[in-house]
Structure 1
């Protein structure tokens, strides 16, 4: 698959895009499943900006099971109380090599490797009074054993529950065929909202090789993906019943972004998740607020006329399930 719009911006200018193991494999994902999905991403999605593979929670739990957690699980720890990968699910981690070999293989595919970790000290390290690395203290001396609060390092973006999900996941509403229970129009609306808010686009673990082709096409829609990469100042400017109108700016141009919140016709393969129209930036009428001004939200001076006369919106429904409005 090749891009037909513009080159992908530098990595530091883009939100994370990729795959997370949670919504499909839950706490039981294996090294082989990670590599199969990473290889599929390299072959079909990397040219469109999807470049991150994340192994979710309990990669260190040798007795992990689908649809639940085991209390007081026998976690493998190193000499300093740090969790080690479950050897039955991550064989390359043998001999205390950790997830380094798996991360190296993902990097060789041209992808980035991510890991779900939780801040704190494992209870088993505290019980064993293991020494904390780089300190003269033991785990039981530095742990706050009276706290029950759980904190996650960093922030996990809300995952996109689409594709073939719920194979062994704790959660995940799906149909009889194992595919996400969201209809095609609902998936388009969901992704449109993610794009409007410039959210990280992390697919929540839908098994990529067995997901419908329509799902992959939705996640690799170059024209739709281009909007959050090159625009800023997203703002809702109109809401009338089931029609919502947002705008976003790219330098001196304005993108009107539209979505319809009611179900409509099923999209056909290849149709875009959002239609973007470039138009010259217009100044608001006197006495109204310019939503894109950085200095304030104060009204425009009454003596300064707009450059162009505002035109009425003429909405029409496109076949992708969204509503366009000619400006």
Structure 2
């Protein structure tokens, strides 16, 4: 097995808030271009005077198959021709990323994104390109060749680009170290690495982490490591994930369908108590705004989620402190979605809260009331999310204490609207409890903030 020196995340500064940004997958699948990446980066940096970037949306990620010349919308090409250099390191397709021509890779695009004050990320698959293995190329700095270090029996079930690596072979870590160093040298700040968790490839997770640590030390720059997909991911892997990654998916791909959002209420109830600066449980990208432009699934469309469902998603992700990566094409997205993404009061929950967790769940499936709570470290400010999975609007009464709010809560405000929320005082009619009495939209939420003192 490869070397472990002091733990791969030793001496790395831990982020105090979840990573945030834009990812090309929901809109463009495997086909995004340099022009489209830069258009989304510029919107992040400049929209509404820079409100999105100022709110923390600071990372731009080019998703899968930027190295595939024949990439198409709606799936993958089996046995696709991939671009790679003399060491088997994947290279961007110049027809889609013109600035990469002449062997420059993503360095010019990363510089352009950095010049906007943003961070730059790319997607990688676990392992090494099959065609690079077949070419039997030299592994830099070793006597080994790519044909020796591949595990041809270890393949991704949904994408044929790569073989796994033989992590018991010394050439495998040497090749991975050199490859990661190469892409970090382009200016990459964020690596989304796929086919890592379903099944759970413990050896690949450790090898990647070590390679990233070494690249960070060489280049003097922090690199965020994101692992996916999270299909049936177990909490049994929690400590290993915390040691070797910054964020990890807890589900398969999520799309703009209410059942996908509803399912995350349960998943994040399991994972949120364990999410924080040591590592972030990822509820997946936000399919909001204009999605499906040339994506894997669906026709070009604005997100099929209603306003209430969109706000349920954003409220849950923030209470659970999930990473926030929007997948819609921002320049062609609607103003209402962009405004919700920049909502300072909602994003404050992700930035300042801790201890987010499910407090109450009752009712039949498809018509449940689910209550979440979170608070600042000193408990001075508290938040409660009152969610309804019912298909119609309904009135919900919840004891304030059941929502994590003290008996004399003071001023309670709906975060989305800024509206002061009346409370029913303790009485015989309320069973002796102060009660939240709120109208919740269909598939909606009331995200409430308790101010530390009563309103004047």
TM range (shorter): 0.7 to 0.9
Report if the CA contact (8 A) 1:67-1:169 is conserved.
Answer: yes
Aligned CA distance change for structure 1 residues 99 and 324 (closer, same or farther; 3 Å): closer
Report if the CA contact (8 A) 1:247-1:254 is conserved.
Answer: no
Aligned positions of 1:40-79 closer than 5 A: 40-44=43-47, 45-79=52-86
* Matching of residue 257 in structure 1 with residue 401 in structure 2: no
Deviation at 1:23, TM superposition (A): 0.6
Report if the CA contact (8 A) 1:55-1:116 is conserved.
Answer: yes
Report if the CA contact (8 A) 1:23-1:172 is conserved.
Answer: no
Structure 2: state its 5+ residue gaps. 1-12, 157-163, 165-194, 197-207, 209-225, 229-281, 394-413, 421-431, 451-456
Deviation at 1:203, TM superposition (A): 0.5
Structure 1: state its 5+ residue gaps. 1-9, 266-270, 278-309
1:215 to 337, 344, 354: 337
Structure 1 CA distance for aligned equivalents of residues 24 and 447 of structure 2: 35
Aligned positions of 1:90-105 closer than 5 A: 90-105=97-112
Counterpart position of 2:346: 224
* Matching of residue 171 in structure 1 with residue 287 in structure 2: no
Structure 1-normalised TM-score? 0.78
Alignment length (residue pairs): 279
Counterpart secondary structure, 2:91: coil
Aligned CA distance change for structure 1 residues 83 and 325 (closer, same or farther; 3 Å): closer
Counterpart position of 1:138: 145
Structure 2 CA distance for aligned equivalents of residues 99 and 59 of structure 1: 10
CA displacement 1:103-142 (0-9 Å, x = unmatched): 0000000000010011211111111111112221000011
Q: CA RMSD in A?
A: 2.8
Structure 1 CA distance for aligned equivalents of residues 54 and 357 of structure 2: 29
Structure 2-normalised TM-score? 0.57
Structure 2 CA distance for aligned equivalents of residues 135 and 315 of structure 1: 68
Q: Quick check: which one's helix share is greater? A: 2
Deviation at 1:69, TM superposition (A): 1.2
Structure 2 CA distance for aligned equivalents of residues 94 and 148 of structure 1: 30
Structure 2 CA distance for aligned equivalents of residues 326 and 209 of structure 1: 31
Deviation at 1:169, TM superposition (A): 0.1
Counterpart position of 1:159: 285
Aligned CA distance change for structure 1 residues 276 and 125 (closer, same or farther; 3 Å): farther
Structure 2 CA distance for aligned equivalents of residues 264 and 324 of structure 1: 18
Structure 2 CA distance for aligned equivalents of residues 325 and 240 of structure 1: 19
Report if the CA contact (8 A) 1:163-1:211 is conserved.
Answer: yes
Structure 2 CA distance for aligned equivalents of residues 47 and 326 of structure 1: 22
Aligned CA distance change for structure 1 residues 326 and 181 (closer, same or farther; 3 Å): closer
